[in-house]
Chain A
Amino acid sequence: MTPFKMHRAKNLGEAAGLFKAAEEGRFLAGGQTLIPVLKQRLASPSDLVALSGVAGLAGIKVEPSRITVGAMTRHADVAASADVRRLIPALAELAGGIGDPHVRNRGTMGGSVANNDPAADYPAAVLGLGATVVTDRRRISADDYFQGLFTTALADGEIVTGLEFPVPERAGYVKMPHPASRYCLVAVMVAKGQTGVRVAVTGAGQAGVFRVPSMEAALAKSFSADAIVGLKVPSDNMMTDIHAGADYRAHLIGVLARRAVAKALA
C-alpha cells in the first residue's frame, strides 16, 4: 500500500474538517472495498478519515412506517436485526447474502452506497425500496442519488449518515451471485408500497443500478409474476464480461424479477 496519513474522527464536523484539510482525502467506513483498492494501488489518497469512531453513525431506528439504518451499520447487523427481518425481510435477506460472514462483519451500508459499485447489492435495495440517502448536508431521494458507474450525487467531502427505508407492503429480492466473489451477476429488488411499485436491477447495467419502468407499470396493474412474463429488457446497456454477456444478463433480469415477485407474495 502507498503511505497515507490515518485520522480517526470523533464527530461529523471533525471528519469533514479533516477531509477538507487533506490534499487528497478518502473516508474509510468498513474498508471491505477501499482497503483492497488501496492494496491494488488503484487509489493512493494522501489521507484516510476513518468514520468508525464517529458517535451515532451505527444502529437501526424503527418508526411505524420507516426504518432508518445508520451509515456505519454492518451488513451482519442489518441481516440479524429482528426489526428489519419483521418489517423489510427482503432487506435483511439481501444484507445476509453480501460477500461472506467476515466481510459482513466489517462492511457497512453507508460505505457500499457511497461507493455505488455496479455489482453491489445495496444499491438495489436503496433504489428498489425508494429509500432516502441522508448525508451531513441534506436528504437525497434514491432516484436522484445514483448517477452512474461508481458515481453518486454526493459532493466532494459529503458524508452519508444514514438510509431511510419506507416500510413496503411487500418486497422480494433475488440474486444470481457470482460463484466466487458473491457480487451480483444480476439481482432484482421488487417492492410494492408507499412509493408505488418499484423494480430495481443491480449487477447488469453499464451505468449501475436502474429501474425497469415497463415491469413497474405491469406490476402496478397486477402484482403477480404472470404480469411480467414476456416483458424484455433491451440488452443494449448491459455489461458484458468474462462471466456473462449482455444478452444473458438481460434475460436473467426477466427470470429474477418474476422470482422476486413470487418471493414478495410468499
Chain B
Amino acid sequence: MPVITVSVNRATQTVDVPDNMLLSSLLRDVLRLTGTHIGCDTSQCGACTVHVDGRSVKSCTMLAVETDGLAVMTIEGLAEGDKLHPMQAAFRDHHGLQCGFCTPGMIMAAVALAEHNPAPTEAEVREGLEGNLCRCTGYQNIVEAIMSGARTMHGARS
C-alpha cells in the first residue's frame, strides 16, 4: 500500500492507503472525519465536497493516493474553535438547511465560490451550486445564506 503525506485541516498526516481507496473513504473511515458525507457515491450530489489545494472537489471521485503532498480542507477545518466560519454562521442565520445531509458539501462549495467571487450574484450562486443537490430546502435559503456569507467573509477581511 502506498504511504502518502497529506495535510488535512492544517495537520500533516502520514497514512498508508490502499491503492483504490477514495479520498472520501480516507477522510471518513481512516481519519474519522465524518463531517464529509457520502450521498450518492456516483459523483452527482456533492455532499462529499472538500477542498484540495484550495479548490472544491468531490472526494468520492478522487483517489486518496492523488492527495499525496497536497492540502485537504474538510468541513471540520473551517471553524476556529467555537467560532463558526462566516459561511457556517450564514447557513445557520438564514436557515440554509433542513435535514442537514447536504450541508457540509454545500458549505465547502460555497466557501470555494466566495473565495473566487467576493460578491456573487444570485445567478452566480445558483450556477455555482450546479454540483450540489439538496432534497429539502428548494435552495432559496441556501442561496441567501451564501450571498450573505460571502459578504461577511470579505467584509471581515477588509
Interface residue SS majority, chain A:
mixed
With A3-B19, A5-B19, A36-B42 as given contacts, are A103 and B58 in contact (CB-CB < 8 Å)? yes
Number of interface residues of B (CB under 8 A): 29
Complexed CA–CA distance, A48 and B2 (Å): 13
B131 A99 Cβ-Cβ under 8 A: yes
B20 A4 Cβ-Cβ under 8 A: yes
Interface size range on A against B: 20 to 34
Question: What are the interface flags for B74-116 relative to A under an 8 Å C-beta threshold, 1 for contact and 0 otherwise?
Answer: 0000000000000000000000000000000000010011000
Query: Does A220 touch B at the CB level, under 8 Å?
Result: no
Q: Which residues on the B side are within 8 Å of A40 (C-beta)?
A: 42
Q: Which residues on the A side are within 8 Å of B56 (C-beta)?
A: 101-102, 105
Query: Does B141 touch A at the CB level, under 8 Å?
Result: no
Question: What are the interface flags for B44-67 relative to A under an 8 Å C-beta threshold, 1 for contact and 0 otherwise?
Answer: 101001001001111001110110
Query: Does B41 touch A at the CB level, under 8 Å?
Result: yes
With A5-B19, A6-B20, A36-B43 as given contacts, are A101 and B109 in contact (CB-CB < 8 Å)? yes
Name which of B2, B44, B63 has the most chain A CB atoms within 10 A of its CB. B63
Name which of A5, A6, A180 has the most chain B CB atoms within 10 A of its CB. A6
A6 B62 Cβ-Cβ under 8 A: no
A31 B112 Cβ-Cβ under 8 A: no
Which residues of A from 186 to 213 have beta carbons under 8 Å from B? none
Query: Does A251 touch B at the CB level, under 8 Å?
Result: no
Complexed CA–CA distance, A76 and B55 (Å): 10
Complexed CA–CA distance, A6 and B18 (Å): 9
Q: Which residues on the A side are within 8 Å of B22 (C-beta)?
A: 1, 35
Query: Does B16 touch A at the CB level, under 8 Å?
Result: no
Q: Which residues on the B side are within 8 Å of A48 (C-beta)?
A: 19, 63
Query: Does B130 touch A at the CB level, under 8 Å?
Result: yes
Query: Does B128 touch A at the CB level, under 8 Å?
Result: yes
With A99-B131, A101-B56, A101-B109 as given contacts, are A6 and B43 in contact (CB-CB < 8 Å)? no
A102 B58 Cβ-Cβ under 8 A: yes
Q: Which residues on the A side are within 8 Å of B113 (C-beta)?
A: 101
With A76-B55, A101-B113, A105-B56 as given contacts, are A31 and B19 in contact (CB-CB < 8 Å)? no
A31 B128 Cβ-Cβ under 8 A: no
Complexed CA–CA distance, A28 and B43 (Å): 16
Q: Which residues on the A side are within 8 Å of B131 (C-beta)?
A: 99-103
Complexed CA–CA distance, A222 and B61 (Å): 46
Which residues of B from 1 to 28 have beta carbons under 8 Å from A? 2, 18-20, 22
Name which of A3, A36, A76, A182 has the most chain B CB atoms within 10 A of its CB. A36
Contact pick for A101, options B2, B63, B130, CB 8 Å: B130
A101 B43 Cβ-Cβ under 8 A: no
With A101-B112, A102-B58 as given contacts, are A32 and B20 in contact (CB-CB < 8 Å)? no
Q: Which residues on the B side are within 8 Å of A106 (C-beta)?
A: 57-58, 61-62
Q: Which residues on the B side are within 8 Å of A151 (C-beta)?
A: none
Query: Does A137 touch B at the CB level, under 8 Å?
Result: no
Q: Which residues of A contact B (CB under 8 A)?
A: 1-6, 8, 28, 31-32, 35-36, 38-40, 48, 50, 52, 76, 99-103, 105-106, 180-182
14 A–B contacts from the bound complex (CB under 8 Å): A3-B19, A6-B63, A28-B63, A36-B61, A38-B20, A39-B42, A40-B42, A99-B130, A100-B132, A101-B113, A102-B58, A102-B109, A103-B61, A106-B62
Which 6 A-B pairs rank lowest in CB-CB distance, beginning with the nearest? A100-B131, A6-B19, A100-B130, A105-B55, A102-B131, A102-B56
